[in-house]
């Protein structure tokens, strides 16, 4: 198991054993800013070498996948989970959007496996942040009014999109040579910062384990089953649009991940009657640990199997 | 020291509401506000400020009795149903009353 994932387990165990370990909130903020900027910068610098028109059809296909995932999740949440329309829509929106840290763990996994991936994957990451949330809100509201200006402000100007897009633009404008002086800070320290962040995520995820008793077995099954279905679609789409095996694993990782930064904030504004504890517990206490411990290695194996 | 009566409206709420609470307070007659990050727990569970969606704030508004009534009523109608929020009001003494009157 990779050291970064082990840090997550250390955090989770520390929390379950009621350790007084706490990562101060300003440090958590700083670490998340660093990770988002580093991912954006790297993608942007590589994007400078690419022809944007060649990526466009793939990007559109990926956006469609982001919109499709909540449409698949919603009927399951309504019919089997028996959730209200607003709760089902909010949960579906979380699964349609993506988790940047899960993506970072996926990239780290591919580096360990010495498997290359398309350099423009951070662009797909940004594109997948928004459509799932919008579809989730539409499902939750279905027919009702939505304060779109406030919602889009929250989603498009939330820190994750601003930092990822900002990093992409700076990296793209500066190019590979321009960001070379930033390498020691943004790229060589990346793994260490990811480990610290995962230690924090372990603490946070385990703080929601107690909620699993209240949310019931269905949510546990959904939190494991939904990423498997969505990642399966990601593997198929990656293969169809001609991504490399590494790119396909990352697309599966993105499709299988659930947002716990952008989506919760957006849903509190657009669907306030949805209970945030349900979607956050599913995304953070079930799907996130599942993806980083079991999911990503599984998506890697499945991609290898399909490609061989 | 001569003090003058004034109302202190204290709002404990999830951090997602911060910008809306500020907008509401200023629109409904408050002249200022103070916000600090907070941690705590209640009927909607614990908020330990471990990460984004887990943060909460404590907002204080010094204002006259009328503004306090109007603002309190508005917050109650707009947010009590679906958000983690609680309010309380204290009678306090201030030194420069003109700063807080609508």
* Residue-by-residue DSSP string for A135-186: HHHHHHHTTS---HHHHHHHHHSSHHHHHHHHHHHHHHHHHHHHTGGGIIII
**DSSP H/E element including A233:** helix A217-240
What is the pLDDT at residue A279? 92
The reported pTM is: 0.88
Structural contact between residues A244 and A118, judged by C-beta atoms closer than 8 angstroms: yes
Better pLDDT: A237 or A48: A237
Mean pLDDT of B9-16: 94
What is the pLDDT at residue A49? 79
CB nearest to A276's CB, from B50, B51, B53: B53
What is the pLDDT at residue A47? 81
Mean of all residue pLDDT scores within chain A: 91
Check CB contact under 8 Å for A203 and B50: yes
Structure tokens at A46: 């590589």
Distance from CA of A303 to the nearest CA of B (A): 33
Q: Is A25 on the interface with B (CB under 8 A)?
A: yes
Range in A24-28, A73-77, A185-189, B46-50 with the lowest mean pLDDT: B46-50
Check CB contact under 8 Å for B53 and A28: no
What is the pLDDT at residue A149? 82
Distance from CA of B50 to the nearest CA of A (A): 6
- In A28-87, the residues whose Cβ lies within 8 Å of chain B are 28
- The residue written with tokens 């089997």 in the block is A80
How sure is the predictor about A301, in pLDDT bands with cuts at 50, 70 and 90?
A: very high
What is the pLDDT at residue A98? 94
Structural contact between residues A237 and A69, judged by C-beta atoms closer than 8 angstroms: no
Mean pLDDT of B26-51: 87
What is the pLDDT at residue A210? 84
Contacts of A217 (CB under 8 A, 6+ apart): none
What distance in Å separates the CA atoms of residue A79 and residue A259, rounded to the nearest whole number?
Answer: 23
Mean pLDDT of A247-255: 96
Query: Quick one: what percent of chain A has pLDDT higher than 70?
Result: 100
Burial class (CB in 10 A: 0-12, 13-18, 19+), A52: exposed
ipTM of the complex as predicted = 0.78
Query: Quick one: what percent of chain B has pLDDT higher than 90?
Result: 73
Structural contact between residues A237 and A299, judged by C-beta atoms closer than 8 angstroms: no
Among A272, A273, A281, pick the best mutation site for testing chain B contact (most B Cβ within 10 A): A272
Better pLDDT: A51 or A285: A285
Among B21, B23, B51, B75, pick the best mutation site for testing chain A contact (most A Cβ within 10 A): B51
Q: Is B48 on the interface with A (CB under 8 A)?
A: yes
Query: Which residue segments constitute the domains of chain A, with CATH numbers given?
Result: 3-8+26-307 (1.20.1530.20)
CA nearest A268 in B: which residue? B16
What is the pLDDT at residue A143? 67
Mean pLDDT of A199-204: 91
pLDDT at position A249 over 90: yes
Check CB contact under 8 Å for B16 and A268: yes
**Does residue B48 sit in helix, strand or coil?**
coil
Query: Which residue segments constitute the domains of chain B, with CATH numbers given?
Result: 4-99 (3.30.70.120)
* Alpha helix segments (H runs only) across A80-120: 85-96, 100-112
What is the pLDDT at residue B91? 95
């Amino acid at each position: 198991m990779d050291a970064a994932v082990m840090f997550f387990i250390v955090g989770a165990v520390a929390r379950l054993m009621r350790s007084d370990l706490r990562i101060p909130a300003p440090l958590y903020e700083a670490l998340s800013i660093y990770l988002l900027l580093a991912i954006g910068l790297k993608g942007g610098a590589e994007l400078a070498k690419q022809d944007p028109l060649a990526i466009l059809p793939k990007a559109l296909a990926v956006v469609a996948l982001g919109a499709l995932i909540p449409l698949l999740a919603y009927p399951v949440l309504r019919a089997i989970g028996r959730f209200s329309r607003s709760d089902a829509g909010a949960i579906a929106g979380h699964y349609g959007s993506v988790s940047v840290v899960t993506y970072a763990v996926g990239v780290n996994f591919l580096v360990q496996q010495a498997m290359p991936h398309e350099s423009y994957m951070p662009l797909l990451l940004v594109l997948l942040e928004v459509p799932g949330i919008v579809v989730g809100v539409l499902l939750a509201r279905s027919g009702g009014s939505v304060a779109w200006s406030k919602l889009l402000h929250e989603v498009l100007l939330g820190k994750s999109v601003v930092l990822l897009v900002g990093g992409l633009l700076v990296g793209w404008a500066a190019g590979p040579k321009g960001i070379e002086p930033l390498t020691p800070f943004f790229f060589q320290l990346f793994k260490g910062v990811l480990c610290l962040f995962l230690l924090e995520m372990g603490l946070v995820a385990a703080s929601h384990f107690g909620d699993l008793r209240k949310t019931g077995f269905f949510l546990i099954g959904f939190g494991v089953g939904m990423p498997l279905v969505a990642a399966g679609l990601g593997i198929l789409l990656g293969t169809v649009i001609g991504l490399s095996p590494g790119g396909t694993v990352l697309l599966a990782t993105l499709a299988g991940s659930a947002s716990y930064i952008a989506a919760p904030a957006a849903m509190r504004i657009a669907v306030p009657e949805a209970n945030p504890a349900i979607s956050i517990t599913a995304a953070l206490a079930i799907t996130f640990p599942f993806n980083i411990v079991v999911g990503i290695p599984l998506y890697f194996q499945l991609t290898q199997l399909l490609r061989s | 020291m001569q003090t003058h009566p004034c109302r202190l409206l204290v709002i404990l709420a999830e951090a997602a509401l911060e910008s809306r609470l500020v907008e509401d307070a200023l629109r409904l007659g408050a002249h200022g506000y103070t916000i600090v990050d907070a941690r705590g727990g209640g009927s909607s569970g614990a908020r330990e400020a471990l990460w984004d969606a887990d943060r909460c704030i404590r907002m204080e508004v010094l204002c006259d009795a009328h503004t306090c009534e109007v603002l309190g009523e508005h917050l109650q109608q707009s947010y009590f149903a679906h958000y983690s929020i609680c309010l309380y009001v204290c009678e306090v003494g201030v030194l420069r009353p003109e700063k807080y009157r609508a």
